[in-house]
Every structure is written in structure tokens, then in C-alpha cells.
Amino acid sequence: MPAPQTIYVIQSAHTDIGYTHPQEQIALMYLEHYDRVLELCQQTADAPEASRFKWTCETSWQVQHYLTHRPEREAEFLHYVRSGQIEITAAYLHFTDLIDPDAYRRSLAWVVAYCRAHKLPLRCAMHCDINGWPWSLADILAEYDIPYFCSQIHLDSATDPLGARGSVHYFWLLAQIAPFLPDTPVRVPQAFWWQGPKGGKVLHWLGEHYLQGNVLGISSPRGFAADKTRYFLETDRLSVDDLYAQAVQAVPRYLARLKADGYPYTIHMVSTGASLSTTRRQIRAGAR
């Protein structure tokens, strides 16, 4: 029999200022998004630990932005960080590899100081979408006792780091956006110890696309780039059953493809760009 497979889901909102909507609208969207995060944390706070709503703050800018504009909710936010329902991560934004070590170190100053002042865990830096990061980052994270680094870049303008030559995102095959053959290698996530030039080490998860979970039905796959409503979440009408019907088909196929392309582990970490309107329906209905 095949070994059991366990999937760990990162539920977050991608930091992308001004790409899909005007910057002023994006900034407001993040505030309402985090209002909903706290609402969902409160709704599930008394549920069994495994059933509570969990949220990952993809960048520390999101945290700083929210607390600056919602100071009256800081105590509530801190409560859910301490209870394990909200995770603060270290990277302020998603920089390119052109940023120098001093600038990157200074970009961590706010979140490191904030977490130390409030005795909060700071365990991971996430790097999504932007292709590249400075080698010194491993030393900088080790310097601040941040043990993990999670990267989930896209291949639109780059190649697969450490991957098979010519490998592509899994969802490219599904979308048929290019004439790929069925045996085209797909991107295979990897985990390894990354050592900086000064010897600092972090455990690096080199993952798939940061919206991979949306392709698999773990979260809503609804496209949003061309949707210019006040907040695109308002137009997402997918139900829990809609998503589950997709997931029961898509997830096993993805796991089988990873195994065929050489993925060696029985655990997986999949990131989603969560639709909180759908998530609220999942909580009310009792998500499977």
C-alpha cells in the first residue's frame, strides 16, 4: 500500500500592492481582510485545536499596516497570535535579489522589535512571487534566530531553482496555456538546509506556486485579476461542496504526479490565497 500523505495548508493573502487594483484600494482591502481574519478566529476559538481557523501573515508589512490603522484591535490580534491561530512572519515585503544585506537587515527591524517587545514567536520568513533573494539572507535570518525560510516563487519570468531542466508549474499543464507534453517535468518542492556565506543556516522549503492550493480546490480558484468590484471576494459564490468536489479529484492527481517526478516525502506544504468569504461558509457548514 502507498504511504499515507499529509498536507499542511498555509492560508494567507498575497502582498501585491497595485497589481490587480489601485494601491489605495488594495490598502483598504487588507484592512477589511484582517478584520475578517479576527472574526473567523473568534468564531472558532472554542473549537478543538485542529478545527480552529488559522492564518499566516505573509509579510510583516501586513501586520504593521493593520495595527497602524486598527490600534483598537491590537490586543485582540495579539491574543490570537499567542493562541496559535495567527502566525507573524519576518519578511517585510518580497524583495528581489538586488537588495543588499544592510537594507534587508533593516527591513526586519520593526517585526523583530515588535515580536520581542510582546514576547511573540517569530519562526519563519516567507518569500512569494518575486524571483530571487540575496544569499546573505540565510545569515541574516540565523542572526535573528529565525530558523525557517519558505519560498514560493513563480516561473513566469524565471526557471525552476534546483529543479529538472524545463520543469513547469503543475497548473500550467492543467490550464493548457502552452503546448506542454504530458511528460513535461513539473516543479517538485524541496526542503534543504541553506547556508549563507558566513555559515548561518536556515531550513529552506522551496515550494510550488503560492496559489497552488487554489488550483487543487483547497481554496477558491476564482480568478481576481480582472475583477474590479469593490472587493473581489463579494463575487465569489463557490460553496464548500463546490470546492470539495474539485479537491477530491485534484489533490490525489497532484500527489501522484509529484511522486512520479521524484518527490521523496510523505508530507506536503501547500499555500493558498484564501477567499475569506468562502472560508466563512466552510466554518458555518463544517468543512470536511
Q: pLDDT, tens digit, for every residue of 85-103?
A: 999 999 999 988 889 999 9
User: What is the rounded distance in angstroms from the CA atom of residue 86 to the CA atom of residue 6?
Assistant: 21
β-bridge mates for residue 57, sequence order: 88
Give tens-digit pLDDT for 185-213. Answer: 889 999 999 999 999 999 999 999 988 99
State yes or no: pLDDT of 282 exceeds 80.
no
State yes or no: pLDDT of 247 exceeds 80.
yes
pTM, entire model: 0.89
H or E segment at 223?
A: none
Instruction: Give the residue, 232 or 98, on which the prediction is more confident.
Output: 98
pLDDT-wise least confident of 28-32, 47-51, 228-232, 241-245: 228-232
User: What is the rounded distance in angstroms from the CA atom of residue 46 to the CA atom of residue 252?
Assistant: 32
pLDDT given for residue 227 in this prediction: 57
Q: What percent of the chain has pLDDT over 70?
A: 86
Q: What percent of the chain has pLDDT over 90?
A: 58
CA distances from 200 to 12, 93, 136, 203 (A): 28, 22, 9, 11
User: What is the rounded distance in angstroms from the CA atom of residue 175 to the CA atom of residue 31?
Assistant: 32
Q: Would you list the DSSP string of 22-83?
A: -HHHHHHHHHHHHHHHHHHHHHTTTS-GGGS--EEESSHHHHHHHHHH-GGGHHHHHHHHHT
- The set of residues, in sequence order, having a beta carbon less than 8 Å from that of 134 and lying 6+ positions away, is 97, 99, 100, 101, 104
Q: Are 88 and 81 in contact (CB under 8 A)?
A: yes
Q: How confident is the model at residue 278 (pLDDT cuts 50, 70, 90)?
A: very low
State yes or no: pLDDT of 284 exceeds 90.
no
Q: Return the CA Rg of the chain.
A: 19
Q: Which domains does the chain have, with CATH numbers?
A: 6-285 (3.20.110.10)
User: What is the rounded distance in angstroms from the CA atom of residue 156 to the CA atom of residue 171?
Assistant: 12
User: What is the rounded distance in angstroms from the CA atom of residue 224 to the CA atom of residue 211?
Assistant: 12
